[in-house]
Chain A
Amino acid sequence: MTAEVTVATGTGGLGTDMVLNIGPQHPSTHGVLRLRLKLDGERVISAEPIIGYMHRGAEKLFEVRDYRQILVLTNRHDWLSAFSNELGAALAVERLMGIEVPERAVWLRTALAELNRVLNHLMFLGSYPLEIGAITPVFYAFRERETLQAVMEEISGGRMHYMFNRVGGLKEEAPAGWTSRARDAIGLVEKRLPDLDRLIRRNDIFMARTVGVGVLTAAQAAAYGASGPVARASGLDFDLRRDEPYLAYGSLKVPVVVRTAGDCHSRFEVLLDQVYVSLELARQCLDRVDQIKGPVNVRLPKVVKAPEGHTYAWTENPLGINGYYLVSRGEKTPWRLKLRTASFANVQALSTLLPGCLVPDLIAILGSMFFVVGDVDK
């Protein structure tokens, strides 16, 4: 009995590289992202993100929904920044129709957008350490989220999909005393947030896992179109709130949190510091809301029709730049509404970041790229 074995030689080693599918159902891909890895032991040789498991055809659905119904759908592609998403869509329609939004609505929108940003960041500030193996920070983050969500629920009725924007302003006026309750909630979060900060930011093990891991250079970030906290951690100093102000950001001084290292830890730090900044911004907005009298929306005809034309509205969403390219033929539905989502661009960088790292590093990088799968697949 002779055994004849043919093996391949060359860069493929023995041809026995292990192929490992991380996802579509894996605890660290938060959702259904799939990564096809080739492993040499625990070292990643190549990584290919496979997306589309959650494709819901949002852009196609936009074409058969009127402008109020579109807000329901935009709410849902990035479920962690629902308010910012619907805001972007509303801004696009308003721009095309030439609507001027009442000042009170503008400031209220800004405040809510910043609160939404905090909610989004807190989610990642909790889930990221969880992926690294620290099980406690997520509960601290959710305690703060709960506090802010109560405020959001009181004004909009929703905890996640707020549905509070309308073309031309907001759905309705805030309940009496809401602004002071919102300020109280912000104060409470600011008071308790240092717990999360002290628990994890300077933790030696956390540092060992994240410092110098998954370095994305500024040039790479720009090349892949990364934006938001991911790009700012790489030193790409770009923030639409400051560089191309929309809403009331023009009259606010927006501090932009930037790091230069571009590694997982700096991405985490950008997020954490951003929370402090956003809470402060939200408080300033609420103070302004209290000084402005007036309506929060404009009266629109029963059927809203955007005039023929096209426009592009982009906003600094919590995860990065979110853009809506709206093309209208004068119907009550858009002819085309193209989505540019932050997560999609950020996930692209994975295929360059992952090769060469270890499986645990992969988890650390995956968690620090801050994406929402619905936002990737749309």
Chain B
Amino acid sequence: MSGVPGYGLGKGLAITLKTLVSRSTTQQYPDVAPELPPRSRGVIALREENCTVCMLCARECPDWCIYIDSHKEEVVVPGAARPRQRNVLDRFDIDFSLCMYCGICIEACPFDALFWSPEFEYAEYDIRNLLHDKDRLNEWMATVPAPPAHDPQGEPSKEEANALKKAGAA
């Protein structure tokens, strides 16, 4: 049957006709928000109070797009003999025009100050406006979803393990 000239053409035409009468798969993006998985790497959010200005993220970043400034402050803790030194974050900027969205900074952060958020609607008309400061990064904290539960066959996630530990302690 496939030897008949035009058979392949006919099959193709039938396929397109079949598709013509079936539903399209397009998501109407601005009207319907896409459903993104929690791990989706949209933007990096910062929880400022967790940051200790250890600079690990800025050093580990493959293209050095994180800019951090800080100063030291003395905090008098009642009951302690001497006032404590504390790092105060002045500036935490991420240049998203350079960022490669690899997630190494988030992995490197030892104090859970950086998170991935699936939020992606932060395009700008000027590339220079893609430099976002700590206030903006902090705003995105609200969009950070809870991490998904791990596959029961594998190791539980850090959060799950902590929760288990707490439950065991209580």
Contact = CB atoms under 8 A, between A and B. Distances in A.
Interface of A: 65-66, 68-69, 71-73, 75-76, 104, 136, 143, 146, 150, 153-158, 161, 163, 171-179, 195, 198-207, 289-296
B70 interface: no
B39 A154 contact: yes
Interface stretch (B12-20, B79-87, B123-131, B135-143): B12-20
B92 interface: no
Q: Dominant SS at the B interface? A: loop
Contacts of A292: 153
Q: Dominant SS at the A interface? A: helix
Contacts of A207: 8
Interface stretch (B47-55, B96-104, B162-170): B96-104
Contacts of A175: 37-39, 148-151
A198 B153 contact: no
Interface in B101-160: 101-104, 107, 116, 148-157
B71 interface: no
Given A104-B154, A203-B9, A205-B9, A161 B101 contact: yes
Nearest to A297: B155
Shortest Cβ-Cβ A-B pairs, 9 listed = A173-B154, A175-B148, A157-B39, A202-B8, A69-B62, A154-B37, A173-B150, A72-B102, A157-B41
B154 A203 contact: no
B107 A171 contact: yes
Given A153-B40, A200-B12, A207-B8, A161 B102 contact: yes
Interface residues of B, number: 39
A292 B151 CA distance: 11
Contacts of A201: 8
A204 B155 contact: no
Contacts of A75: 102
A73 B104 CA distance: 12
A176 B152 contact: yes
Contacts of A199: 11-12, 15-16
Interface of B: 2, 5-9, 11-12, 14-16, 18-19, 25, 36-41, 60, 62, 100-104, 107, 116, 148-157
Contacts of B16: 136, 199
Contacts of B107: 68, 171
Given A156-B39, A157-B40, A158-B101, 13 more contacts: A69-B104, A136-B16, A153-B37, A163-B101, A163-B103, A173-B154, A173-B155, A198-B14, A199-B11, A201-B8, A293-B153, A294-B153, A295-B154
A296 B62 contact: no
Contact of A198 (B15, B100, B104): B15
A117 B39 CA distance: 22
Contacts of B12: 198-200, 203
28 contacts: A66-B60, A71-B102, A72-B100, A72-B104, A76-B100, A104-B153, A143-B25, A153-B37, A156-B39, A157-B37, A158-B41, A161-B102, A163-B103, A172-B150, A173-B156, A174-B151, A175-B39, A175-B149, A176-B150, A176-B151, A176-B152, A178-B151, A199-B12, A202-B7, A202-B11, A204-B6, A289-B153, A295-B155
Given A153-B36, A163-B103, A294 B154 contact: yes
A86 B86 CA distance: 39
A154 B36 CA distance: 8
Contact of A163 (B2, B18, B102, B150): B102
A174 B154 contact: yes
A201 B15 CA distance: 12
